[in-house]
Structure 1
Amino acid sequence: IDTVLKAADAADVIFLGEQHDDAVGHAFQAEVFKRIVEKNAGRRQVVLSLEMFERDVQTVIDEYLAGLISENHFLLSSRPWGNYKTDYRPLVELAKEKNLPVVAANAPRRYVNMVSRGGRSKLDGLSKEAKSWLPPLPYNEASAEYAKKFKALMGPSAEAQMGIDNILSSQSLWDASMAYWISESLKKHRGALVVHLNGSFHTEGRLGTVEQLLKYRSKTKAVVVTMLYESDFKTFDPAKHSNLGDFVILTDAAVPRSKR
């Protein structure tokens, strides 16, 4: 962890790429965030940014952090993931305790679904308010390398390939949204360190969200941590694990998973 923290000192953003049900990975994330907060207390603003909350609930998060609404109403209104209480609540509560900003970085899922069904042009018909929850339109396309990786993940099935371009566009909306709101946070909080949590695919190999961030803010210094669970977690396989991130953390696949 000390090596990761040292790298974060020289960065604007540290991406913690998780497997969403990896209990060990979540424990690692919580410890990294806690120690970053402790290390930077009184000297550098720390911002927590989360894929797990959609942009249209930012006001709800802000109201909760400010103590204006109860945790019960926060949870009722913010559409938290099923594993929020075990895996993300500790970080949000620490941010609340230390008066740190928390960013709802993801695009609203209903609009991601709209793109996957009908293409990115469908977003043009949204209201001004709805568009305010998205990155500026038109958002950037996926890189050729990221598109190749995504299509390989989707597999060769005819059904998947038939709508692959729209599905890739919806994936890129996720990436662009997270990247845009990170860039806006760095603009708002000069000199801050953003700690961003996301599914590892979004940032593996410095692709996806990392690429999109550099389009919004070209000089951003980013550290990418990728966490994967493996049955043989004590063995680093260069052919499999190299180039997935600046740091690759292998966790024990035998440990019971978080329940989403």
Structure 2
Amino acid sequence: MSFVQTTIIAAVCLCVIGCAGLRHPQPPTAAIDGLPERFRPGQIVDLNSGKVIAFDELIANISSKDLIFVGEAHDNPDHHLIQIQILQAVAGRSTSLTMGMEFFQKPQQPMVDSYVQGEISEKEFLEAVDWRKTWGFDYHLYRPLMQLAREKRYRVLAINAPSALVRKVARTGLQSLEPSERDQLPKEIDLTQSRHRALLQEIYNEHTPRDLKQFEFFYEAQCVWDETMASHLAEHLASGKGRLIAFTGNGHIVNKFGIPDRTVRRVPASVVTVMPYPLNGNETIDRGIADYVWLTLPSPLRFSMGQGGFW
């Protein structure tokens, strides 16, 4: 046997032994409260029925709703791919569709309109809204949504509160706002939702020392975010201008405490929540968190934390 033959055989043997020893990491799975099986990334689960459903069934179920919320973990690329898939599919079934976006603040509406109508370039648009400062997450994650809106001339609503006001509330509370500042926010800001408060208290305690006064300011700021976005969505629905699909962080739609409930408090509407859900381990998912969850892997990358809330 030649040296070359011996070398090839040895290499093949090493490859076989090496490959046999490889252990491919198993993707994370999750339990869902009250259901016996475990669920894996890529599955869409109807949390009301407990059944895994196909994408086409999801779209058929949600397309008739007045207001569709699609959440995200801001830095997860899979979640943004889910959003554009849902937008394209829902738009194909709708004669009139408006997009509501957490990523833009209400004063930026004229710049958003100019971009969607093709009046300014993408570079001019990003400079006009000061994207890096006012949102901060990689724009390429959101670009497909904005490109489709521009191509199809969809109306895009800038629904978020001015970030400077939210930061001021988080530091010194609602009562510290000047009258001219308070007038930029909804008249009614509900701070009485006990389950919402308890959830945010738990999150707050995981990130910061337990300072009750500062938590109150933090909670007020979160409610300012939610109430402002709910107010703008409700205003659109009340105008009769057609169906809405809103893109926000998961934290604003979890259990419908945030924007969804605060929207329907203002205007009667059929609402559905779809939450892209990153699986980080062997968690158990509460069936009340959304109407549907689309399970994904956690984010492979970490982008800037941007201007959003905790999630």
Could you say which TM-score interval applies, normalised by the shorter chain? 0.7 to 0.9
- Give the match for residue 183 of structure 2: 131
Which of 92, 96, 109 is matched with 2:150 structurally?
Answer: 96
Q: For residue 100 of structure 1, report the CA deviation from its aligned partner.
A: 1.0
How big is the shift at 1:177? 0.9
User: What amino acid sits opposite 2:105 in the alignment?
Assistant: E
Offset at residue 66 of structure 1 (A): 2.1
The AA in structure 1 aligned to 2:294 is: I
Q: Distance in 2 between matches of 1:88 and 1:189?
A: 27
Equivalent positions of 1:216-227 (< 5 A) are 216-217=266-267, 219-227=268-276
CA contact 1:13–1:193 (8 Å) conserved in 2: yes
Alignment of 1:1-260 (within 5 A): 1-40=55-94, 44-80=95-131, 81-126=135-180, 131-132=183-184, 134-135=185-186, 137-155=187-205, 158-190=209-241, 192-217=242-267, 219-231=268-280, 239-253=284-298, 256-257=300-301, 259-260=303-304
After superposition, the Cα gap between the structure-2 partners of 1:110 and 1:15, relative to the gap in structure 1 and judged at 3 Å, is: same
* Higher mean displacement: 157-166 or 28-37: 157-166
Tell whether the 8 Å contact from 2:82 to 2:276 is kept in structure 1 after alignment. Answer: no
SS in 2 for 1:32: helix
CA 1:54–1:142 in structure 2 vs 1: closer, same or farther (change >3 Å)?
Answer: farther
For residues 33 and 84 of structure 1, what CA distance do their matches in structure 2 show? 20
Question: Which TM-score applies when normalising by structure 1?
Answer: 0.87
CA contact (8 A) 2:138 2:303 kept: no
**Is the alpha carbon distance of 1:170 and 1:59 closer, same or farther for their aligned partners in structure 2, counting shifts above 3 Å?**
same
Following the alignment from structure 2 to structure 1, what is the Cα–Cα distance between the partners of residues 148 and 209?
Answer: 46
**Does structure 1 retain, via aligned residues, the 8 Å contact 2:67–2:244?**
yes
Change (3 A) 1:23 1:79: same
Distance 1:29 1:160, change over 3 A: farther
Which SS does the other structure have where 1:183 is aligned? helix
2:280, 2:64 → 1: CA distance? Answer: 33
Structure 1 or 2: more helix by fraction: 1
**Separation in 2 of the partners of 1:138 and 1:188?**
20
C-alpha distance in structure 2 between counterparts of 1:175 and 1:13, whole Å: 15
Unmatched tracts of structure 1, length 5 or more: none
Distance 1:71 1:142 in 2: 42
TM-score w.r.t. the length of structure 2 is 0.73
Task: Say which SS state the counterpart of residue 249 (structure 1) adopts.
Answer: strand
Instruction: State the Cα distance separating 1:37 from its structure 2 match.
Output: 1.4
Instruction: Determine which structure has more spread, i.e. the larger CA radius of gyration.
Output: 2
CA distance in 1, matches of 2:183, 2:138: 27
Q: For residues 231 and 171 of structure 1, what CA distance do their matches in structure 2 show?
A: 25
Identity %: 24
- Distance in 2 (alpha carbons) for counterparts of 1:142 and 1:258: 34
* Contact persistence 1:142–1:208 (CA under 8 A): no
Deviation at 1:125, TM superposition (A): 2.4
Q: Deviations over 1:81-110 (max 9, x none)?
A: 344532211111111111110011110110
Secondary structure of the equivalent of 2:103?
strand
Q: Can you give the 5+ residue segments of structure 2 that lack an aligned partner in the other structure?
A: 1-54, 305-311
Cα deviation 1:58-82 (Å, max 9, x = unaligned): 1111112222222211110113234
Q: CA RMSD in A?
A: 2.1
Task: Read off the aligned partner of 2:170 and give its amino acid letter.
Answer: S
Greater than 6 Å deviation, 4+ residue runs: none
Q: Is the 8 A contact 1:7 1:223 kept in 2?
A: no
Contact kept, 8 Å, 1:179 with 1:212, in 2: the verdict is: yes
Query: Which AA in structure 2 matches 1:188?
Result: S
